[in-house]
Chains A and B, each alone.
Chain A
């Protein structure tokens, strides 16, 4: 009985959905505030994403005439799959839905989350949304391979398929796997940038060119779901990076400290870089995939 109660508590509250939603929205707010400070201006308050999401929930859902049935269906799928993903990634060692063969499910859900986001864009049949979604799908095509291979490197090294065990291994041995596999670590970091649509790889959301891209027709509750999913995705990627490469974390405070440092580095990169064109993105990521594959093979053979 206590077991079941604890299970539900850890899914819904800590480190479950309530905790993850709040902290990821807070992280998005911190990112915006830091960006504004670096640009020598005041910027929105740190709790601005909360206000944005609350405001979006109070707006009406506008149904465009030409939209496909997926217009309503895909945002829910995006949110649901992001939540499942968030419950599987270890946050300071605890992951409510962790199993021993996590990696396969995680890889699948990562791909599915990004894919369903752009399917949502396609189902709104606006030429700008279609252009943005096609660019996003091309970007997935570019970074998915290096991302998966970079994830596999520490997993194969520790000999398991569960990031929670890799986390425990890093804590036990006291060393960061990033220093054992620097190439894989750097490639993972760069793929993180593309997955989270952070500059210089914010190609699908190029609002100067295509008026918003995949989310241009969305408003109201559906858009709130997509915004929450975006914030949670960034948090999930940071947690995965910490668990696999950057030393793991034994308790929640160390975890928050480490993730804030990673967030700071992400913000600095997002501020100093201009946008890269989609064909340049493809070239870069296939090159990265090639070199990380080399590293994987080398490590496997040694």
Chain B
């Protein structure tokens, strides 16, 4: 019975759940979302691919192509860290976009790969 006051109060309180997609949540800074690759800063060293835990990034050093497979990416941010700390180029940044659902398999490849 101790929960009765809470139950009664909740009838008049604003509901806690959200009617997504009409009401979207506020994403804080530093959220690890979709990857942005800056082609002008990238030197195609291939370190991001070497340190990616799931093998999502593929870099062709000779032909200078870079692409990421979102089917494999776990959004850990190791590529961003390696690019920022080891080679100091800041060519990869993880943004705030989280709505990454798709219907076709080739929608998950981002970068220089021919679709």
A binds B: yes
Q: Which of A39, A40, A41 neighbours the largest number of chain B CB atoms within 10 Å of its CB?
A: A40
| B17 and A42 form a contact (CB under 8 A) | yes
**Which listed residue, A34, A40, A268, A272, touches B16 by the CB 8 Å rule?**
A40
Inter-chain CA distance A267–B15, complex, in Å, is: 18
A144 to chain B minimum Cβ distance, whole angstroms, is 27
| A37 and B11 form a contact (CB under 8 A) | yes
B13 to chain A minimum Cβ distance, whole angstroms, is 6
**Which listed residue, B3, B4, B13, B19, touches A42 by the CB 8 Å rule?**
B19
| A38 and B15 form a contact (CB under 8 A) | no
8 Å CB interface, A269-290 against B = 271-272
By beta carbon, the residue of chain A nearest B2 is: A272
**B54 at interface (Cβ–Cβ under 8 A)?**
no
1/0 per position for A8-45, CB-CB distance to B under 8 A? 00000000000000000000000000100111111000
| A42 and B15 form a contact (CB under 8 A) | yes
**Which listed residue, A34, A37, A41, A272, touches B3 by the CB 8 Å rule?**
A272
**B7 at interface (Cβ–Cβ under 8 A)?**
yes
Tally chain B residues at the interface, Cβ within 8 Å. 12
1/0 per position for A227-266, CB-CB distance to B under 8 A? 0000000000000000000000000000000000000000
| A40 and B4 form a contact (CB under 8 A) | no
B90 to chain A minimum Cβ distance, whole angstroms, is 43
By beta carbon, the residue of chain A nearest B16 is: A40
Between A and B, 21 residue pairs with Cβ closer than 8 Å are: A34-B11, A37-B15, A38-B7, A38-B8, A38-B10, A38-B11, A39-B7, A39-B10, A40-B10, A40-B13, A40-B15, A41-B15, A41-B17, A268-B7, A268-B8, A271-B3, A271-B7, A272-B1, A272-B3, A272-B4, A272-B7
Identify the 6 closest CB pairs spanning chains A and B, nearest first.
A38-B7, A40-B10, A41-B17, A40-B16, A272-B3, A272-B4
Enumerate chain B residues within 8 angstroms of A40, measured Cβ to Cβ.
10, 13, 15-17
Inter-chain CA distance A34–B7, complex, in Å, is: 10
Inter-chain CA distance A37–B7, complex, in Å, is: 8
Enumerate chain A residues within 8 angstroms of B17, measured Cβ to Cβ.
40-42
Enumerate chain B residues within 8 angstroms of A39, measured Cβ to Cβ.
7, 10
Inter-chain CA distance A39–B16, complex, in Å, is: 9
A269 to chain B minimum Cβ distance, whole angstroms, is 10
B9 to chain A minimum Cβ distance, whole angstroms, is 9
1/0 per position for B1-45, CB-CB distance to A under 8 A? 101100110110101110100000000000000000000000000
8 Å CB interface, B68-104 against A = none
Enumerate chain B residues within 8 angstroms of A42, measured Cβ to Cβ.
15, 17, 19
| B16 and A41 form a contact (CB under 8 A) | yes
Enumerate chain A residues within 8 angstroms of B19, measured Cβ to Cβ.
42
8 Å CB interface, A135-150 against B = none
Inter-chain CA distance A39–B1, complex, in Å, is: 15
Inter-chain CA distance A280–B3, complex, in Å, is: 22
B3 to chain A minimum Cβ distance, whole angstroms, is 5
| A268 and B4 form a contact (CB under 8 A) | yes
A40 to chain B minimum Cβ distance, whole angstroms, is 4
